[in-house]
Structure 1
Amino acid sequence: MSLSRGSIAALMSLTVLVLCLLLAPIAPWLVKWPAALTVPMTEWVGAGMSAFLALFKPLARGFSWAMSYPMNAAGYVLGQSPWPLVIGLVTAIGWVLGGLRMALLGAAGLGFVLLSGYWHQSMNTLALVVVSVPLAMIMGLAIGILAFEVPRLRGAVQAVLDVMQTVPTFAYLTPLLVLFGFGPVVGLIASAIYAAPPMARNVLLGLERVDAEIREAAVMSGGTRRQQLFLVEIPAAATQIMVGVNQCLMAALSMVIIAAVIGGFDDIGWEVLLTMRKAQFGPAFLAGLVIVVFAILIDRMSAKLAEPRQRHDRRVSWGILLLGGLMSVVFFSQDPATFGAFDSLAEAVDRGVGRFTANHGATLDGIKNGAMFYGLLPLRIGLDDAVLPFTWGFKWTAVHSAIVYGVAGLLAVFLVLRGRVTAGIVAMIVAGILVTGISQLPWPFVLVGVGAIGWISGGWKLSRLCVILLVLIGVSGLWERALLSLYLSGASVFACAVVGGALGLWGALSKTAWAVLRPVCDILQTIPLFVFLIPVLMFFQIGEFSAFLAICMYAVVPMIRYTRHGLVTTPPDLIEAAESAGATRMQILREVRAPYAAPTILLGLNQTILYAFAMLVIAALIGTTGLGQSIYLALGQADVGLGLTAGAAMAILALVADRLVQGFAEERRRALGL
């Protein structure tokens, strides 16, 4: 019987795993990455970057000083402008963009911000966004045009954008802190850098999609290349570019909140961080809601720029502005900080959370400890070390390991006899991982296993790339921390795949279910990462389980959306053919819809993985280990070397996972003839 590529790859991985586990007692270097194979990468990178940054520090400090003026000006204008005028301006913009519904959304949103008592902090946050977004848009527009105009550079630009979007957000802050100094300008610059890639991608995509007829017409008109680009092609790509503006705004807002960690600026992000550190969950929750309101307003209004819009009577918008001006005169002496209508509600939430955790502390601890002792901990360090008398009620022994391997062996034999050779071998590999734990897996097995998956997914080229990138992590001395990050992100992605896949299936089968799920997904996708920490801290405090929940809450949405989208977009002719053959609804779902949706679902899994890695670093604030914690510690110590190497290691893990899943998705598309 000839073995398939999957069976050969699985057999190679299993062989290496068995050999490493058998030889571990006499060759412990097979389990932990040998110190002899590491180099002081952190010190080298730190020294090199410090020398490099020192050359540009005077210029950077001058730029920081220059950028403080528009930032302070924007903050002064927004902070000193009467609040009725600001609300009126946003409401008028809402009317122009989307009519009555958008105007009411703007008025209600900023009304909530006013009544929250965080008006001044919110205006400071808005000032950072107002200054950082134009910078990001200019950089993104320039990069996108450059990549389009110089095809030779397109591959390199795409690679740089990939790296910029996979490098954790905190990793941006460490070198910027050294270069530009402490303060809000660092957050502004970090936001501009972080928000530029989505703008650049959409500019490039929009220009590539301009119809050939439009280009030919521009050439026939006799215009210069510059005129063709700016007068014809960019206007033709305006819809896609506006999508980039939307993503740019959301990325800038998200990064401004994160940058509050080092900004020390009296903005809403700092307010959230301060109240969380003081365990004032009511005020933290209220400040988090303000961020959510801003995110929804910015998302909805900027999204309208990318849609065909109805023309609304401009006189109404001028009337709204006039009303705002009149209200400004009436409430001229009214300090917006005195409103605070929700202060008592925030205090009530704080007291309520305190009472709830006091009354149900045993239940919450039971949930947290159960998940840790019977799920996360065994996955991290293996059943061999996690099963103890005070948790499981007995001590794990070699007999128990033999039983697990025996059961896995019987399952493998059963699957092989049914012709599913690859599944049988994988069952044995899973048993070895469960007994050993992800964080204690032998490094040769990890390299061979990932290389084998890369070979199946995209051939030898992808296999070599994945192995080389992982070797770089080992050589840098971050192997153990990388496995810890891999464990927590892997557990989160698995949970998101199960829960998100089930919810996506439910949404595909029931329009009522999707009517409920869709607004929830919309809200979760607009919430900045920082805010996800608040609800889990309110009930489960600092710890790995809280980090796990926060990652799942953030990363589950792509899995829901892509699963549902893949299942509902099956071509009608395929469904009609299956119905004509007498297939039941479940048979159609299993045999027609699911296979056709597989590439889309895999793309959802890809996005879930990237979301999980992005949130993993933010979750370091509430108790994760691994690379995320290293990046956060490097930020606190201004250790550029550790911050960049740990950030690069995290980006490598995300990049490897991204390429592997994309390879499988592409293979499924080819198999379906798409």
Structure 2
Amino acid sequence: MSEIALQQSRPGLRVPAGWIVTGLVALAILVPYAAPETFGWAKTYPARWIVPISDWLKAFLYWLARDLSFGLFTFKDMTRFVSGLFGYALDVPKALFSSGITFGDEPGAFHIPRLSWAGIIAAVTIWSYMLGGLRLAVLGFVGFGYILVFGQWDSAMVTLSQVILAVLTGVGGGIALGILAFRLPRLEGAVVAALDFMQTIPTFAYLVPLVFLVGVGPVSGMLATILYAMPPMVRVTMMALKRVPPELDELARMTGCIPRQTLWKVLIPSARDDLLVGVNQVIMLTLNMIIIAAMIGAGGLGFDVLNALRQANGLGKGLEAGLAVVALAIVLDRMSRAMVELRPVHGAEARRRRYLVGAGFALLIGFTLLSFAIPALEQLPAELRISTGNMWSDVVSWVNIHLFSTADALRTFLLIYILVPMKTFMVGFPWVGLLALVWGGAWSLGGWRFATGMTALMAFIPVAGLWERGMTTVYLCSISVVIATLIGLPLGFLGSRSERMHNALGAMCDTLQTLPSFVYLLPVVMLFRIGDVSALVAIVLYAMVPAIRYTDHGLRRVPPSLQEAGTMAGCTGTQRLAKVELPYAMPEIMLGVNQVIMMALSMLVVSSFVGTNDLGKQIQVAISQADPGKGLSAGLAIAFLGILADRMIGRWVAARRTRMGL
């Protein structure tokens, strides 16, 4: 065959698209380093290209507050009206639990005392016994007893009054929106997108516009808490109603029920268990956010913890208040979980429950009436209280004396060999290279359109002029996620192999998830002082729980038939784990990593109180300066990072499950 014929018989040379994309990404990363004089713009984002997004957001909020009118009233009038309603609503639980009611201003004015501490502890103990037996009753008694004896009752009751109103509003509003989205399928997509966005926005970002529109005070904290805690209830309501068997809906229609009767007499009761799980989530998110809302005047235990972080010698009192937060959170969490597991009963058991509920109310009212004659039942005398503030201060001093060298050595090692090099690398990384890297990874997962959307989310950071703070956030989040995953995966593996270890890890994870995020800062500051190391340790402790849970759950879900097939093929235990179990459980494990990223981003904002200079710090500064534009732009940047990680990991998990036939 001639040379010409041989060339004509060969197929055309085709270069795989993946190779082209990889080459383009490599060029985008390497060229700014190779030719900095020519391509300096690709390494350092030019200042003239920065878009004043924060100024636009600030101008938009000013327009909302000053110029937007609905005819008879303005937008600002509406926000003031809503805040006034919540202010009056908050006065009710606050009077019951915290301040009481006083008629008149003169010294001899008639005073109705608040609910007695003895009545509250007795009622909580009895109701805990009804919900979960003797163990939960002891927990309720000890938890509220600690708050009383150690002088945290007044602050705890302020927090509890806010939690009650926020939970009632969040649960009611969440169920209403969930029902609306369930009834109107066209609305569901928009609701889900809004929920995804709201659940990726950092907690502090809720505070910025509310301070600007409503002002500083307990109502702003309340509204921020409701907005933060409501999305899980909406999502759970939608999912719970969809899970109700269609046969029940058809049966209700056949019996002549109108849609309203079908909803409230059939669908809602059938979805009771799932809805109660949503209530538990709302309670825990509310308690977490109420602590953060202390920044804008919510008061209560959150203010005590926040004030301790701001004082050089206030760590002892902060730990005391932090333990009160933990006690309140654990008791409310366990009681709400027991309510989820409580089964409907009839006959003698139902009468017993009604008797216990009535006994709790009777003791609550009885002790409160007695407090008219015995003031000590309204407020425990100071001489009967115990303060551990000095003890914790002594503990801090002991740690600084005996553990300082070890902690400082670890801190120095992490800074010199891990944190500083990683931060220098990330801040100096070419912005064009990072966008190309995101684009290439997203293209391999979902094609051109998906890659364009994900790259646009990442491009927001340099375009908004947030490159240094944004990369500081990325570097801290990345290291924290890696460390949390490296800790969580082995622990999850051990939990999947041992029932005793599984139960112990479950109790540890429940406790870690119950603690409000601010509480993590107190012990790490005591050990490592302020700085990136303290933030890193706090983030790892807060975010590693999903890695443990999902790894444990994923390995336990591996079908026994697959394990037996691996054993029959001659695999050792290690080979079966590496070749069979981990590949099968990897989608579940990656979902855990996704949750680790979300929790790390959330905690990064809180950790700005210990000296980090990331996007969370900008939000904190924006709150103190009442600059909503800067706060919202930083909050959007963090939200976009969360959405980017969530969507890319979600695509990978979906593709992996498809390949495995799941």
TM over 0.5: yes
User: Aligned AA for 2:392?
Assistant: V
Are residues 1:500 and 2:488 paired? yes
Q: Return the match for 2:427 from 432, 439, 446.
A: 439
Equivalence for 1:304: 338
Q: Return the match for 1:16 from 16, 28, 52.
A: 28
Q: Return the match for 1:558 from 531, 541, 546.
A: 546
User: Aligned AA for 2:480?
Assistant: S
Equivalence for 2:260: 226
Are residues 1:146 and 2:180 paired? yes
Query: How big is each residue's C-alpha offset from its partner over 1:222-241, in whole Å with a ceiling of 9 and x where there is no partner?
Result: 22222222222122212111
5+ residue gaps, structure 2, are 1-12, 67-73, 99-113
Equivalence for 1:85: 119
Q: How does 1:541-556 map to 2 (within 5 A)?
A: 541-556=529-544
Equivalence for 1:597: 585
Please give the alpha-carbon distance, in whole angstroms, between the structure 1 residues aligned to 2:21 and 2:412: 37
Label 1:222 to 1:321 Cα distance change in 2 as closer, same or farther (>3 A).
closer
Please give the alpha-carbon distance, in whole angstroms, between the structure 2 residues aligned to 1:458 and 1:510: 39
Please give the alpha-carbon distance, in whole angstroms, between the structure 1 residues aligned to 2:522 and 2:496: 31
Are residues 1:579 and 2:567 paired? yes
Please give the alpha-carbon distance, in whole angstroms, between the structure 2 residues aligned to 1:325 and 1:48: 50
Please give the alpha-carbon distance, in whole angstroms, between the structure 2 residues aligned to 1:339 and 1:511: 47
Kindly report the root-mean-square deviation, in angstroms, between the aligned alpha carbons of the 2 structures.
2.1
- Report if aligned partners of 1:20, 1:30 keep a CA contact under 8 Å in 2: yes
Equivalence for 1:351: 394
Q: Return the match for 1:206 from 235, 240, 250.
A: 240
Q: How does 1:449-464 map to 2 (within 5 A)?
A: 449-464=437-452
Equivalence for 2:308: 275
Are residues 1:368 and 2:402 paired? no
Query: How big is each residue's C-alpha offset from its partner over 1:20-70, in whole Å with a ceiling of 9 and x where there is no partner?
Result: 211224332111212232211111110111211334222222322232222
Please give the alpha-carbon distance, in whole angstroms, between the structure 1 residues aligned to 2:293 and 2:359: 38
Are residues 1:333 and 2:375 paired? yes
> 1:351 deviation in Å?
1.2
> 1:581 deviation in Å?
2.1
Label 1:245 to 1:7 Cα distance change in 2 as closer, same or farther (>3 A).
farther
Secondary structure in 1 matching 2:133: helix
> 1:204 deviation in Å?
0.5
How high is the TM-score relative to the length of structure 1? 0.88
Label 1:320 to 1:59 Cα distance change in 2 as closer, same or farther (>3 A).
closer
5+ residue gaps, structure 1, are 382-436
Are residues 1:26 and 2:38 paired? yes
Equivalence for 1:617: 605
Please give the alpha-carbon distance, in whole angstroms, between the structure 1 residues aligned to 2:15 and 2:152: 65
Secondary structure in 2 matching 1:459: helix
Secondary structure in 2 matching 1:306: helix
Query: How big is each residue's C-alpha offset from its partner over 1:480-499, in whole Å with a ceiling of 9 and x where there is no partner?
Result: 32111111111111111111
- Report if aligned partners of 2:179, 2:238 keep a CA contact under 8 Å in 1: yes
> 1:153 deviation in Å?
1.4
Equivalence for 1:37: 49
> 1:120 deviation in Å?
0.8
Equivalence for 1:399: none
Please give the alpha-carbon distance, in whole angstroms, between the structure 1 residues aligned to 2:36 and 2:97: 64
- Report if aligned partners of 2:127, 2:356 keep a CA contact under 8 Å in 1: no
Q: Return the match for 2:212 from 178, 181, 191.
A: 178
Please give the alpha-carbon distance, in whole angstroms, between the structure 2 residues aligned to 1:31 and 1:60: 44
Label 1:6 to 1:557 Cα distance change in 2 as closer, same or farther (>3 A).
farther
Secondary structure in 1 matching 2:658: helix
Q: Return the match for 1:57 from 68, 76, 85.
A: 76
Are residues 1:629 and 2:617 paired? yes
User: Aligned AA for 2:380?
Assistant: P
- Report if aligned partners of 2:125, 2:137 keep a CA contact under 8 Å in 1: yes
Q: How does 1:153-192 map to 2 (within 5 A)?
A: 153-192=187-226
User: Aligned AA for 1:530?
Assistant: F
User: Aligned AA for 2:301?
Assistant: I
Greater shift in the superposed pair: 2-11 or 466-475: 2-11
Please give the alpha-carbon distance, in whole angstroms, between the structure 2 residues aligned to 1:324 and 1:133: 21
Query: How big is each residue's C-alpha offset from its partner over 1:334-360, in whole Å with a ceiling of 9 and x where there is no partner?
Result: 2326266541x3312211211321333
Equivalence for 1:290: 324
> 1:563 deviation in Å?
0.9
Please give the alpha-carbon distance, in whole angstroms, between the structure 1 residues aligned to 2:284 and 2:141: 20
> 1:642 deviation in Å?
0.8
Q: How does 1:383-532 map to 2 (within 5 A)?
A: 437-532=425-520
- Report if aligned partners of 1:97, 1:309 keep a CA contact under 8 Å in 2: no
Secondary structure in 2 matching 1:625: coil
Equivalence for 2:9: none
Please give the alpha-carbon distance, in whole angstroms, between the structure 1 residues aligned to 2:356 and 2:170: 32
Query: How big is each residue's C-alpha offset from its partner over 1:81-122, in whole Å with a ceiling of 9 and x where there is no partner?
Result: 111101122122212322323222222211111112100110
Query: How big is each residue's C-alpha offset from its partner over 1:434-491, in whole Å with a ceiling of 9 and x where there is no partner?
Result: xxx1121111111111111112222323211101122233222223321111111111
Label 1:597 to 1:337 Cα distance change in 2 as closer, same or farther (>3 A).
farther
Query: How big is each residue's C-alpha offset from its partner over 1:611-643, in whole Å with a ceiling of 9 and x where there is no partner?
Result: 000001111111111211111111111111111
> 1:250 deviation in Å?
0.9
- Report if aligned partners of 1:242, 1:306 keep a CA contact under 8 Å in 2: yes
Label 1:325 to 1:144 Cα distance change in 2 as closer, same or farther (>3 A).
closer
Please give the alpha-carbon distance, in whole angstroms, between the structure 2 residues aligned to 1:441 and 1:622: 26
Please give the alpha-carbon distance, in whole angstroms, between the structure 2 residues aligned to 1:511 and 1:439: 45
User: Aligned AA for 1:136?
Assistant: G
- Report if aligned partners of 1:166, 1:655 keep a CA contact under 8 Å in 2: yes
Query: How big is each residue's C-alpha offset from its partner over 1:236-291, in whole Å with a ceiling of 9 and x where there is no partner?
Result: 212111111111111111111000011162x1111111122223222211211111
Please give the alpha-carbon distance, in whole angstroms, between the structure 2 residues aligned to 1:123 and 1:195: 20
- Report if aligned partners of 2:173, 2:230 keep a CA contact under 8 Å in 1: yes
Equivalence for 1:70: 89
- Report if aligned partners of 1:32, 1:480 keep a CA contact under 8 Å in 2: no
- Report if aligned partners of 2:201, 2:639 keep a CA contact under 8 Å in 1: yes
How high is the TM-score relative to the length of structure 2? 0.89
Please give the alpha-carbon distance, in whole angstroms, between the structure 1 residues aligned to 2:183 and 2:385: 54
Please give the alpha-carbon distance, in whole angstroms, between the structure 2 residues aligned to 1:587 and 1:321: 60
Are residues 1:248 and 2:282 paired? yes
Please give the alpha-carbon distance, in whole angstroms, between the structure 2 residues aligned to 1:654 and 1:3: 34
- Report if aligned partners of 2:218, 2:297 keep a CA contact under 8 Å in 1: yes
- Report if aligned partners of 1:118, 1:337 keep a CA contact under 8 Å in 2: no
Label 1:497 to 1:290 Cα distance change in 2 as closer, same or farther (>3 A).
same
Are residues 1:48 and 2:60 paired? yes
